[in-house]
Chain A
């Protein structure tokens, strides 16, 4: 059985997330899907899993052609998607999770618990997971939960297994175990679509690789005779030649942000400086501590020891409010959950904080608020530049501009801008605009910018300097004038090599 995707196209309003994508996964084949954030990988997955309907194109599975799938018909067609955010029910045990929605019953009412348990044992054995079927899922590690998800897919007779960056949250040992399992499933004749941005995994596992960029398939070949360098070239498309270099920074300027010996749960003795006008990237994998460092600086997590100074003044941050008063502001990684007030207007979202600063004697001053919105909307190219539109209606890129404008305007007094994954879920065109905005606020207003990313392209395009993080430590400090994307990719891969 082969899964064929033909001419898959997906529009979100004016943005084109997928543009005429073709993809074939044969039974007993591991097909790797590569590409940076926003390349369109996750939209392909969503179309396969029935999370969204494509605007055009078709998906053919075992001879049946579908124009669109919903979650139910996707499962019925034999597709199982293992998302990064696993969809198990924490409170239920492994057996119950495995049988959720397809319980075996007597007379349609009574659970046949012994049968279910026996079946669970067989499934767990097949995926090589050594836990009791009665274990509550919340007691399992991420890696174990992933195996339970795969077992669940097998129990539904999945013919196509889609794995969405499966190793992102795994330890090296767990990753190797997963790779073994993928090979086993392949031998059983299951088609595997393996979505990742780690080249080593691709070289190790894939029979065939497709590379996506900007919503299009740019490269698709069998892996025989393909080297890692070929993949790097295909993924990056040598696009960073087009990036505008950030304005140089005088290395003798006193730092705007100085961190010394910062320790916190998951952070070990981090010291770094960022100068006014300088853009520094924190590069590392999920769990390396890059987001944790930003959240600790911003007071969302407590620090155990160490000092933080803004413009030479030591600051003590216990809550986000303290950080903001000291001139440290964070644009969080999860825009919808941690940043935006979805049903409120973009105007209110922008002035939410400065509202208190522009107010006189406790009364709002609408004119001052309007001025803040107007000037930032113009400076950052916000579209639509209408303060009354609910912010949930804006595109990802424009939502991000609103969040940056919340902290960077003439009233906020921000000195250091922290950003966690600044272009997550932002399409390519808007990404370049966000980079421009960040370069502009760094150069014109002398802001220190510190951003976390796992996208080497982004670090190359945006940063003056790159700090590589691993296991809660800063392990490298690279001047981006003499570092390119390939070196960064190599760094992150050498770290994953089994040792």
Chain B
């Protein structure tokens, strides 16, 4: 057959190999424009930060950023596995209560003199146990993950309150390090979040199992008929998401130095889902990346922080955050249309360039 330069599956080289002569690669300007159209939130993020920085001069200071990262880290740790579930066409709404359970369990262990490592391990296990229940119901029995995890959201909150009817507090300095400690000047939770995002990103792009998640999310029937195990990876992801929420609970409790079972992680699941969707992970499945999640989490954190710096009151902050989600999704839908047109034009161009017959 024809000798052609090897194309890359990842799409780094978008030249059609068999034609060569007629079709030129898109110009760098068009490529850059295309990339920005695909990441509209990143553009908004930069504009927003620049605006707040100009107005207040306070957002980009390390002290301020450190606080933002500390808040964002807890969300990011859970958003990573939840985003992967959404990519595969599932969802996990139970993470808010799982966070509370993990926090309470870690608090109990720490208070009774257990080492911080044991406390974190117990939180991970408690979270993973919730994840197993979600996983069995959603992947083995095939129930709607939306309903299953919505039910677990309520049930696990009750379990957390049963474990610790009275608020716990004072867990000791060693455990507190998990929440507020620094390594090389960077908050420990932020380092953990980076590690989680990196691992998830590598898994999603560099392993067959990661790519299969997209296939499952786009078309579960076709994935099954292609010999993909459509249950195992989502099962493990539910467990991971539970464990991550447990870890987030331990971090939160260590930071607060108290564990009120009724209030811990209230509304946390919505913050996670908001960040995931803001970033551009599609609720319909099959679309999204860990970069999206990172951008979504940072956007939420920096938006709230920016509003605070601008002196906006808490109530107005809620209004603004909610509207921001709607606006981001509207922008995403608009860019989706633009992107579709660009793709169509591209396909047309390649088609015209290809030899016929």
* Chain A contact residues, CB within 8 Å of chain B: 13-14, 298, 300, 319-321, 323-325, 330, 332, 337-345, 347-348, 351-353, 355-356, 359, 362-364, 366, 369-371, 373-375, 377-379, 383-390, 393-394, 406, 429
Tell me what chain B mostly uses at the interface: helix, strand, loop, or mixed.
loop
Q: Determine whether the beta carbon of B6 is less than 8 Å from that of A370.
A: yes
- A374, A406, A429: which has the most chain B beta carbons within 10 Å? A374
Residue of A nearest to B229 (CB): A321
In the assembled complex, the CB of A374 is this many whole angstroms from the nearest CB of chain B, namely 5
CB proximity to A under 8 Å, residues B338-356: 343-344, 346-348, 350-354, 356
A contact residues around B111 at 8 Å (CB): none
Q: Determine whether the beta carbon of A378 is less than 8 Å from that of B351.
A: no
Residue of A nearest to B350 (CB): A384
A293 to B209, CA, bound (A): 31
Q: Determine whether the beta carbon of A390 is less than 8 Å from that of B225.
A: no
A contact residues around B14 at 8 Å (CB): 386, 388
Residue of B nearest to A358 (CB): B208
Q: Determine whether the beta carbon of A370 is less than 8 Å from that of B9.
A: yes
CB 8 Å contact bits of B207-249 with A (1 = contact, 0 = none): 1110110110011011111111100000000000000000000
Q: Told that A352-B226, A406-B226 touch, could you supply 15 new A-B pairs with CB distance under 8 A?
A: A14-B351, A14-B356, A323-B227, A337-B221, A348-B214, A352-B211, A352-B215, A352-B223, A366-B8, A373-B9, A374-B7, A385-B16, A386-B15, A388-B7, A389-B347
B contact residues around A320 at 8 Å (CB): 224-227
In the assembled complex, the CB of B218 is this many whole angstroms from the nearest CB of chain A, namely 4
Q: Determine whether the beta carbon of A366 is less than 8 Å from that of B9.
A: yes
Q: Determine whether the beta carbon of B221 is less than 8 Å from that of A344.
A: no
Q: Determine whether the beta carbon of A385 is less than 8 Å from that of B9.
A: no
A contact residues around B4 at 8 Å (CB): 374, 378, 385
Q: Determine whether the beta carbon of A383 is less than 8 Å from that of B208.
A: no
Does B319 have its Cβ within 8 Å of any Cβ on chain A?
no
Q: 17 A-B Cβ contacts within 8 A?
A: A321-B228, A337-B221, A337-B222, A339-B225, A341-B223, A347-B7, A347-B11, A352-B211, A352-B226, A364-B206, A374-B6, A375-B1, A383-B350, A385-B18, A386-B7, A386-B350, A393-B344
In the assembled complex, the CB of A135 is this many whole angstroms from the nearest CB of chain B, namely 29
Q: Determine whether the beta carbon of B218 is less than 8 Å from that of A341.
A: yes
In the assembled complex, the CB of B231 is this many whole angstroms from the nearest CB of chain A, namely 11
A contact residues around B229 at 8 Å (CB): 321
B contact residues around A345 at 8 Å (CB): 9, 11
Instruction: Given A330-B225, A338-B225, A364-B211, decide whether A344 and B286 contact each other with a Cβ distance below 8 A.
Output: yes
Q: Which of A332, A374, A377, A383 contacts B351 (CB 8 A)?
A: A383
A316 to B70, CA, bound (A): 54
Q: Determine whether the beta carbon of B222 is less than 8 Å from that of A339.
A: yes
A371 to B211, CA, bound (A): 18
CB 8 Å contact bits of B176-191 with A (1 = contact, 0 = none): 0000000000000000
In the assembled complex, the CB of B293 is this many whole angstroms from the nearest CB of chain A, namely 19
Q: Determine whether the beta carbon of A356 is less than 8 Å from that of B208.
A: yes
B contact residues around A375 at 8 Å (CB): 1
A393 to B352, CA, bound (A): 14
A contact residues around B352 at 8 Å (CB): 14
In the assembled complex, the CB of B44 is this many whole angstroms from the nearest CB of chain A, namely 24
A contact residues around B346 at 8 Å (CB): 389
Q: Determine whether the beta carbon of B219 is less than 8 Å from that of A337.
A: yes
Q: Determine whether the beta carbon of A384 is less than 8 Å from that of B347.
A: yes
Instruction: Given A363-B207, A364-B211, A390-B343, decide whether A378 and B222 contact each other with a Cβ distance below 8 A.
Output: no
Does B201 have its Cβ within 8 Å of any Cβ on chain A?
no
A contact residues around B292 at 8 Å (CB): none
Q: Determine whether the beta carbon of A364 is less than 8 Å from that of B208.
A: yes
Q: Which of A344, A378, A394 contacts B2 (CB 8 A)?
A: A378
Q: Determine whether the beta carbon of A13 is less than 8 Å from that of B348.
A: yes
Residue of A nearest to B286 (CB): A343
CB proximity to A under 8 Å, residues B254-271: none
B contact residues around A300 at 8 Å (CB): 225
A345 to B226, CA, bound (A): 16
Instruction: Given A339-B222, A341-B286, A378-B18, decide whether A369 and B9 contact each other with a Cβ distance below 8 A.
Output: yes
B contact residues around A388 at 8 Å (CB): 7, 11, 14
A321 to B212, CA, bound (A): 14
Q: Which of B16, B211, B214, B226 contacts A386 (CB 8 A)?
A: B16
B contact residues around A324 at 8 Å (CB): 226-227
Q: Determine whether the beta carbon of A353 is less than 8 Å from that of B227.
A: yes
Residue of B nearest to A379 (CB): B1
Q: Determine whether the beta carbon of A384 is less than 8 Å from that of B1.
A: no
B contact residues around A348 at 8 Å (CB): 9, 211, 214-215
A130 to B357, CA, bound (A): 55
CB proximity to A under 8 Å, residues B122-173: none
Q: Determine whether the beta carbon of B207 is less than 8 Å from that of A362.
A: yes
B contact residues around A385 at 8 Å (CB): 4, 7, 16-19, 354
B contact residues around A338 at 8 Å (CB): 219, 221-222, 225
CB proximity to A under 8 Å, residues B1-47: 1-2, 4, 6-11, 14-19
Q: Which of A323, A342, A387 contacts B218 (CB 8 A)?
A: A342
- B11, B222, B346: which has the most chain A beta carbons within 10 Å? B222
A contact residues around B7 at 8 Å (CB): 347, 370, 373-374, 385-388
B contact residues around A343 at 8 Å (CB): 218, 286-287
In the assembled complex, the CB of A183 is this many whole angstroms from the nearest CB of chain B, namely 41
A contact residues around B207 at 8 Å (CB): 359, 362-364
A contact residues around B353 at 8 Å (CB): 384
In the assembled complex, the CB of A471 is this many whole angstroms from the nearest CB of chain B, namely 26
Residue of A nearest to B357 (CB): A429
Q: Which of B18, B221, B226, B350 contacts A353 (CB 8 A)?
A: B226
Q: Determine whether the beta carbon of A13 is less than 8 Å from that of B351.
A: yes
A contact residues around B227 at 8 Å (CB): 320-321, 323-325, 353
Q: Determine whether the beta carbon of A393 is less than 8 Å from that of B347.
A: yes
A385 to B6, CA, bound (A): 11
Q: Determine whether the beta carbon of A352 is less than 8 Å from that of B212.
A: yes
In the assembled complex, the CB of B287 is this many whole angstroms from the nearest CB of chain A, namely 7
In the assembled complex, the CB of B140 is this many whole angstroms from the nearest CB of chain A, namely 15
Q: Determine whether the beta carbon of B214 is less than 8 Å from that of A341.
A: yes
A contact residues around B223 at 8 Å (CB): 341, 352
A394 to B225, CA, bound (A): 21
Residue of B nearest to A391 (CB): B218
- A14, A325, A375, A384: which has the most chain B beta carbons within 10 Å? A384
A394 to B2, CA, bound (A): 21
**8 A-B pairs with the lowest CB-CB distances in the bound complex, closest first:** A388-B11, A384-B350, A347-B9, A378-B1, A321-B227, A355-B208, A341-B218, A393-B347
B contact residues around A356 at 8 Å (CB): 208
A332 to B222, CA, bound (A): 9
Q: Determine whether the beta carbon of A383 is less than 8 Å from that of B11.
A: no
A381 to B209, CA, bound (A): 29
Residue of A nearest to B1 (CB): A378
- B9, B18, B214, B228: which has the most chain A beta carbons within 10 Å? B9
Q: Determine whether the beta carbon of A355 is less than 8 Å from that of B219.
A: no
In the assembled complex, the CB of B88 is this many whole angstroms from the nearest CB of chain A, namely 12
A contact residues around B225 at 8 Å (CB): 298, 300, 320, 330, 332, 338-339
In the assembled complex, the CB of A239 is this many whole angstroms from the nearest CB of chain B, namely 18
A345 to B211, CA, bound (A): 12
